[in-house]
Chains A and B, each alone.
Chain A
Amino acid sequence: MPLDDAAMFPLLTEASRGLLTRLREHTSAPRWTHRCGDRLTAEALARVRGYADSLKAKRNSSPRGQPSWVGEFLDHCRRDVPFYRERLPSGESLEAMPATLREDLRTGYWRFVPDTADLRDILTYWTSGTSGTMVMVPSCPEAPVKYLPVFEAALRALGIGMKGGNRMSIVQAMCQRSAYTYPSVMSYFDGAGLARLNLNPSEWRSPADRAAFLAEFTPELVTGDPVGLVELASLPLREPPKALISSATALLPGTRSKLEAAFGCPVLNLYAMHEVGPIGIDHGNGLEILAPDIHVEILAADGSPCPPGVRGEITITSAFNPFLPLVRYRTGDHAALDLSAPAPRLVEFEGRAPAVFRSASGRIFNSIDVSRVLSDCPLPALSLIQRADGSVTMRTRCDEAMASLVREQLVDLFEGVGVEVERIPKESPWEGKLIQYRSDMPVTEHQKGD
């Protein structure tokens, strides 16, 4: 049964109702495919505002000792959460707790919802993660809205403030074959507008409507994946946003530079997972961990903690989503912790364990090395495969000159191995993950180290 506006927007005001109607009915609006609201009650909004205050007051403490909230959080998990009830040993030391795996969530997602959670507030998201298998993620209205104060904190560090009010504040830009698109309003930003847009021209009545809609509803902030943001850069905008936040996949430095030049504003890279929340935000110097209720550990393959500077698996204990408490959740992503700045940062980040490649001379290197070599190339998406015979195929989206440069860099890195660069035209949708590495080369166990 679809929800009506009263259920989707419990705090809708006359002004925000007017804005919502304009967004829905504007002559240049896309053919909206979905309806979504913030679902936020006054009590939940108050909790999010309290969270915003805590972001102003506290810094994330990972991993300089266990945060003070973890002891109580573990008690809550043992007492109220079916999955943890008979699983967590007594005691307050996080290091003594067993890891939680994505498989645990996928095969028993309902066991993570605390008995104390009011099911009238439950939300469901789907996530595919890096493995591609779908996982149902329990959530509640305040969890997704808590991203907004985290964004504000990241922008505040750059001297940027969000105004909100009776205007468009956030556009989420994608460019896909088809996507959920909707207009919405956000009570957290005093009724300001949100639009999730698919910039694929076929989703609009006329391709020119994209720029016309954005001229009418100019956002303060644009979020999206690199493909959507690069597409946005090709449109004539009346006024640039204050900042861009890229997420969903790695943002290569070359793409970031291209976007910063196109919009004349900072471009941040968000590392987030639906099941965890916003883990880190990067402005070119590592992923800063901002959320005070997300604790990050870096673990070696044997489960022992890695010292700062040593790469390992990013493992999260998170109270960010009250309907999905996570204890030592192994993300499958890898990075090292850098404690040299006041706030902890994740550096040398690479989603999943890196793929291992081999050059013509037999030199072993991994996908991080490929990312480094290509770091100055503005590629919004790439797929690189080394086959068992050693040959390399790279699919990407760029012009011929850039493809030549990419080919040169790869031939150099792979020391003469045959490299084919296939350009995917803008009109063709990108299939699969935006950054994909795969190696079919046989590699012995001792060569798999990071």
Chain B
Amino acid sequence: MTMPVLADLLRWLAETPPEFREDPPLAAVLGDLLESLGHPDMDAAALARGEAGLKPRAERNRRLWILAACRLLWHPSFRLSVLPADGLRHLFAKELPGVAAITAADALITEEDRREELVRRTLRAVGMGLAGETLLESEDRFCQVDSVEGRLVARGAAERERRAREVREAMAREAARMAAARYSSE
């Protein structure tokens, strides 16, 4: 499978047409996207609705993050294989609302790291990698642009964040070694 190039996806996001940022009806945009991705049965309306209880401004921010991801997923790189429905559902229902809860969607216009975070979250959700990167390199770079984990530090959860980083680093070291025997095939 041909893997997408990070610079192409970042440029694609930077060139997002203004109407994507004007909060168009999300259910219709999602519906079109999911149908074009071969998932017409996915419940676009429910994904667009999200969980109840958000204040209007937070709700708008959630929609804008999802719209940005919709724009990204229209890139031709995502048409080369069938993207997993579970991964897409997780992206729209969990990942992006989680980011939107702490990061303004405006940052997608002003900060390249946020655009890269969106690219990497989306690729992880659908199980794709980037051209020229190993899985471990992708993980490492994702740690650097992961604003949700980064925000934990800002909120005083530094201890937990440090532990999370230590676990990820230790697992990356061990993944490179693969030095523990297995006793059956799985």
Q: A103-B94, A223-B185 are in contact. List 7 more A-B contacts (CB 8 A).
A: A38-B181, A110-B167, A122-B167, A136-B139, A144-B181, A148-B183, A224-B185
> CB-CB < 8 A to A34: which residues of B?
178
Residue on A nearest B166 in the bound complex, by CB: A119
Interface string of B83-117 (1 = CB under 8 A from A): 01011001000110000000000000000000000
The 17 sampled A-B contact pairs (Cβ below 8 Å) are: A3-B177, A38-B180, A39-B179, A82-B164, A107-B90, A107-B125, A110-B164, A119-B167, A123-B180, A125-B180, A172-B183, A196-B181, A223-B185, A224-B185, A248-B185, A272-B184, A273-B186
Closest-CB distance, B40 to chain A (whole angstroms)? 11
Query: Would you call B186 and A127 a contact (CB within 8 A)?
Result: yes
A184-B180 Cα distance, complex, nearest whole Å: 10
Query: Would you call A194 and B181 a contact (CB within 8 A)?
Result: yes
Interface residues of B (CB under 8 A from A): 84, 86-87, 90, 94-95, 124-125, 127, 135, 139, 160, 163-164, 166-168, 170-172, 174-175, 177-186
Closest-CB distance, B64 to chain A (whole angstroms)? 21
**Chain B contact residues: helix, strand, loop or mixed:** helix
Query: Would you call A115 and B163 a contact (CB within 8 A)?
Result: yes
Residue on B nearest A174 in the bound complex, by CB: B185
Contact of A147 with B by CB under 8 A:
yes
Query: Would you call B183 and A122 a contact (CB within 8 A)?
Result: no
A166-B79 Cα distance, complex, nearest whole Å: 56
Residue on A nearest B125 in the bound complex, by CB: A107
A8-B179 Cα distance, complex, nearest whole Å: 7
Query: Would you call A35 and B167 a contact (CB within 8 A)?
Result: no
Residue on B nearest A111 in the bound complex, by CB: B164
Residues in A102-119 with C-beta less than 8 Å from chain B: 102-103, 106-107, 109-111, 113, 115, 119
A34-B163 Cα distance, complex, nearest whole Å: 30
Contact of A234 with B by CB under 8 A:
no
Q: Which of A82, A109, A133 contacts B127 (CB 8 A)?
A: A133
Closest-CB distance, B157 to chain A (whole angstroms)? 10
Q: Which of B167, B177, B185 contacts A172 (CB 8 A)?
A: B185
Query: Would you call B127 and A247 a contact (CB within 8 A)?
Result: no
Query: Would you call A270 and B184 a contact (CB within 8 A)?
Result: yes
Query: Would you call A107 and B95 a contact (CB within 8 A)?
Result: yes
A331-B29 Cα distance, complex, nearest whole Å: 32
Residue on A nearest B41 in the bound complex, by CB: A445
Query: Would you call B180 and A110 a contact (CB within 8 A)?
Result: no
A198-B35 Cα distance, complex, nearest whole Å: 43
> CB-CB < 8 A to B160: which residues of A?
82
Query: Would you call A144 and B183 a contact (CB within 8 A)?
Result: yes
Interface string of A229-272 (1 = CB under 8 A from B): 00000000000000001011000000000000000000000101
Query: Would you call B171 and A182 a contact (CB within 8 A)?
Result: no
> CB-CB < 8 A to B168: which residues of A?
110
Interface string of A2-34 (1 = CB under 8 A from B): 110001100000000000000000000000001
A413-B113 Cα distance, complex, nearest whole Å: 55
> CB-CB < 8 A to A37: which residues of B?
179-181
> CB-CB < 8 A to A367: which residues of B?
none
Number of interface residues of A (CB under 8 A): 63
Closest-CB distance, B125 to chain A (whole angstroms)? 7
Query: Would you call B177 and A147 a contact (CB within 8 A)?
Result: no
Contact of A292 with B by CB under 8 A:
no
A35-B127 Cα distance, complex, nearest whole Å: 29
> CB-CB < 8 A to A141: which residues of B?
180
Query: Would you call B86 and A131 a contact (CB within 8 A)?
Result: yes
A90-B142 Cα distance, complex, nearest whole Å: 33
In the A-B complex, the 4 residue pairs with the closest CB atoms: A133-B127, A124-B175, A124-B174, A248-B185
> CB-CB < 8 A to B171: which residues of A?
109-110, 122, 124, 136, 138
Closest-CB distance, A154 to chain B (whole angstroms)? 11
Query: Would you call B182 and A101 a contact (CB within 8 A)?
Result: no
Closest-CB distance, A203 to chain B (whole angstroms)? 16
Query: Would you call A196 and B182 a contact (CB within 8 A)?
Result: yes
Contact of A433 with B by CB under 8 A:
no
Query: Would you call B180 and A144 a contact (CB within 8 A)?
Result: yes
> CB-CB < 8 A to A228: which residues of B?
185
> CB-CB < 8 A to A115: which residues of B?
163
Query: Would you call B180 and A39 a contact (CB within 8 A)?
Result: yes
A107-B168 Cα distance, complex, nearest whole Å: 12
Query: Would you call B87 and A103 a contact (CB within 8 A)?
Result: yes
Query: Would you call A126 and B181 a contact (CB within 8 A)?
Result: no
Interface string of A127-155 (1 = CB under 8 A from B): 10001111010110100110110010000
A325-B121 Cα distance, complex, nearest whole Å: 25
Closest-CB distance, A112 to chain B (whole angstroms)? 9
- From known contacts A107-B95, A127-B186, A133-B127, infer whether A184 and B164 are also in contact, taking CB-CB under 8 Å: no
> CB-CB < 8 A to A247: which residues of B?
184-186
Contact of A180 with B by CB under 8 A:
yes
Query: Would you call B164 and A136 a contact (CB within 8 A)?
Result: no
Residue on B nearest A248 in the bound complex, by CB: B185
Residue on B nearest A143 in the bound complex, by CB: B180
Residue on B nearest A8 in the bound complex, by CB: B179
> CB-CB < 8 A to B175: which residues of A?
124, 126, 136
> CB-CB < 8 A to A126: which residues of B?
175
Contact of A225 with B by CB under 8 A:
yes
A3-B180 Cα distance, complex, nearest whole Å: 10
Q: Which of B124, B127, B178 contacts A131 (CB 8 A)?
A: B127
A148-B63 Cα distance, complex, nearest whole Å: 50
- From known contacts A131-B127, A136-B171, A144-B181, infer whether A248 and B186 are also in contact, taking CB-CB under 8 Å: yes
